[in-house]
Structure 1
Amino acid sequence: MRRGWDWLMEPDPWSRRSPWKESGYALLLAVVSVGAGLLMREASPVGLGFFGAGVVVLALLRRRFPATVFLVTSACAGPLAAGIFVLTPMAWSAGRRIESSGRTLAAFVGAYVLLSVSGLLLGGDTGLSTVLGMVLSALIYLALVIVPGLAGRYLAQRQTLLDTLRERNAQLLRESRMVAGQARLLERQRIAQDMHDSLGHQLALIAVHTGALEVDSELTDRQREAVGVLRQASVGAMHELREVVGILREGEQPEAAAVDESGRAVRGTAGVAALVAAARGAGRQVVLRHTGERRPLAAAADHAAYRIVQESLTNAYKHAPGASIAVELRYEPDSLVVEIVNGPAGPGRAGEVVSGGQGLTGLRERARLVGGIVHAGAADGGGFRVAGVLPYGTGEKAPFVVPEDDFPRQSADGSPSEGVPAMNWNVSGQEPVMGEMYGAGGGRRNTLGGVGLGCGIAMLVVVVIGAAVAVGGYFLVKSAGDNLVSKERYEEIAVGTAEEDVRKEMPSGGSFWTSGIRDAEGHPKKPENSECLVVVSEESASEFDREAVFRFCFRDGKLIEKASYEVTVDL
């Protein structure tokens, strides 16, 4: 079943609602056209039933074969006035779905030819001249077929243009992401190389000199222990530098926590105890507490927790020397809370170290990238407090802050998100910066241009329909004047006048003005072996549903009888 709908809907996309929508649309067209045909009594109910079935089939095939369905509908709509209710929506569909302009022009010209030919061959006699009938049919075709077709084609081309712009915009965004990624990678490699060449050399010198100093026989045990701490710190710094350089070069976070030669973790929550132990070895009063049931964190969040503790301890060393420090890791149901609080600095000891002011900023950035937050500020009773809240997972595990992207309106694979146009947004997230889709005046200019074009098309439709009504009204009035006979002309014609002379003075009697009168009730019996001409009188009838007529009967080429009377017409 779905394969069949796919075939019918091609090239439009298929959805679950498509069968219901298409079937409802086809049935609606059939009901409207058949109902109009019944009201106008253009054919028998059986014939209109077959016509309705054909409308359903054509409506279902209009997407797959737009030009063919439009031509077939035009050929079928010629004999029936109710066919216009089907031809107009088919013209809209054909204008939207026929691809090339040449095929579209050929389809609409061919449809007009088929409509005119089928109307002349199979349609009833309207009483209008051939030229007048062609003019009226051309105006009606222009208003009810050409204009809907142009409107449908305009909307289809506009949608195609918008889709093309969105695809091009998405491609540009993907390319810009790639270029930015390459630039970031090159910059990271340059920074990694500089760090390796400069800091690595200095740390290696520190490790060598502290190692040599540690074995100096003139040092006391206390001094040798302090020098050993410095050597271990320099060695640990070298390992961390090597790790950071590797991260910068590879461009990604390692999945497992790094360890030093002794097997001690240097990153992650497992390394917090080592940080506290090193601080205690340096003579600081540090307390470490764990609360809650321990749970594993993602590698990036685990690394962020370690860095929060490390940076907070460093800040306490620099800005509050001699103050006590409390480190707490609280495992909450949905997040890990890392809190570091130090007391106030001793008298005259605060503010002795110059800081670059980038440490807390880096911590906030680390936490944001994993969906967490970091708060830093004065603690109650003096001192300073740093607290980080880090989720156990990312993505669907509800991070506290959605990590921002360079292109927030772009999905992960670079394609436009569903229902959202692909657009490059600036930092404020409010102003589009794609010049191809917006002119110098911004998006409002394009919006006004689209509204103006739509209003122009609507105005064109109104003007065309108004012109068609005006021209049709003029010809109807002229036709009425030519087909109505005055009482004076009726009385001037005497019985016995040659039939040829009478017919020259009278209308043909075959117009639509007399089409319903010839079969109306109330005609007197005509003479035997005679042929009669019935015309409409200019005089008003005595009742609303009656019409005043004149009748002239001929035999053997002469007028043998004329009569004036009223007939009952169906309204």
Structure 2
Amino acid sequence: MSTTGAHVPDDGAGGGAASGPTAAAAAHRSGWWWWPRRRSLLLDLLLAAVSAIECAFEGGTFADRIGVLPGIGALLGVLVGSVLVLRRRWPVAVVLVGIAMTPAQTGFLLSLVGLYTLAASEVPRRITAALAGMNGFGTMLVAVIQFQDNLKDSPDGSGLRMPLTLFVSVLMALGLTGPPVLLGLYVRARRRLVESLRERADGLERELELLAEKAAERAERARAEERTRIARDMHDVVAHRVSLMVVHAAALKAVVLKDPGKASASAEMLGDLGRQALTELRQMLGVLRTSEAPAAAPSAAPAPAPVAPAPEPEEEGPTLARLAALVEESQAAGMGVELTVEGAQRPCGARIEATVYRVVQEALTNVHKHAAGAKAVVRLAYREAEVAVLITNGPSDGTPVAALPSGGHGLLGMRERVTSHGGGFAAGPTPDGGFRVSAMVPLTPA
């Protein structure tokens, strides 16, 4: 790093907490050259003025002692003392000027402030140590010469004169060099600590912002998944029940005049299907209402003691035991459906059973929509680690298809349900012109 353009912290309130590059850039933008604040400029001007007055007096005294006009010494002292105004920009140069004026015993304030500024700046420590050593050594030599000159006419203590002179000179050199350097190093270390803490705080703030963004993304993704789940449940309930109702309505229209008894049975079946659809819709709406967060208690009421969170109840829904009733509904609508069960029947979990049930329901609904009159086979298999279901139907026998709207989301919804449990799903046409839907749901979630 350059030793002539080192940044020095502000000496005002705050103890030099301003960061180097930031303060320098701000100072440059504000038009105060290398001063971060106006008060820093005023402080340096005041110190330079005091130093110029001191150096002028000391320079005039030294010039008179060596036989030079005091005015010349005073003028030189003013120039030397005024160098202190450059301490923030060129601290090395200020210290060198102070060292150069040490033999003339001029620039006491210049040396002290210069050493402090040098130690507090970003100048490498080896340069600071070298210049501080030069300043101390020069001060010690001047003190030794001064003491020897003052004690040369003293008749007593000639044996202890030199050791005492050296001891006092060393103490004086340390006293004039050590405190400003140590204070500057302390300010420099404190400024670096503040900068590191500020950088850490900025880093934590950025991390918090990233976490907040990720939390918002997760919340939005959860809302989208919940909307998809609700839409899928609504589709399964409404599409199947309403499809059967449309089929029964078409049959009722065909037999109402020919066979009143059969028409009455179809009408009764329509009512049962409508009631079942309303019941399932109410169940779904009840789940949505109970999943809302409870209202906050009044502020005056005491806070309840914390309790362990209860395990989330499994989602209510249809079970595999109701597959027979589902098949009977399709048979009552005129579809030839056969249900076979392989393996020992056992509970598989509410969510898994609801998923398999919805797959069978949607598959039979598609048969009603797209292959009227076709025969279908539903095969349910209980295996050791999974539940598998296979629904196949043959080609349509030419029976007119009732006008049933289709949203095109049936197969997608079935796939989403199965893959959410880590299972496998496949659907596609068969060689004989029919269609095949198969799903495998593991009993242990993936």
TM-score of the aligned structures, taking structure 2 as reference length: 0.43
Higher helix share: 2
TM-score of the aligned structures, taking structure 1 as reference length: 0.35
